[in-house]
Amino acid sequence: MEFRAARSRLLVDTERCSGCGTCELACSYHQAGNFSTNFSSVHVDRNHRTAQIQFTLESTCDSCLGEPTPLCIKYCLYDAICMEEEKC
């Protein structure tokens, strides 16, 4: 299943996503300079009963302005996130 984030042109392949949260930590580092999901614009939740992934992108996402590649994409261990024009 593909998730399109409206503002930032991010695509998430929820079939590839494991729900590890690395993208959340990378985002929080960009947003606040520390590793805390409280400051992340990206949120990943896994329903442990159904194993379904829920990906949420807040309006504070700036696609890591100033970085060559958004950090959530760069550090995703499963290549589950990409820019819309690239297709995951």
Does residue 7 lie in a domain region? yes
**Nearest Cα to Cα of residue 88 among 3, 30, 27, 26:** 3
Determine the pLDDT at residue 87.
Answer: 66
Does residue 36 lie in a domain region? yes
Write down the pTM of the prediction: 0.84
Side-chain-facing half-sphere of 38: CA atoms under 13 Å: 2
For residue 19, the domain's CATH number is 3.30.70
Does residue 49 lie in a domain region? yes
Q: What domain range includes position 41?
A: 2-83
SS3 sequence of 17-66: CCCCCHHHHHHHHHHHCCCCHHHCCEEEEECCCCCCEEEEECCCCCCCCC
Encoding tokens for residue 57?
């992108």
User: For 32-76, what is each residue's pLDDT tens digit?
Assistant: 999 999 999 999 998 889 989 999 999 899 889 899 999 999 999
How many structural domains comprise the chain? 1
Does residue 88 lie in a domain region? no
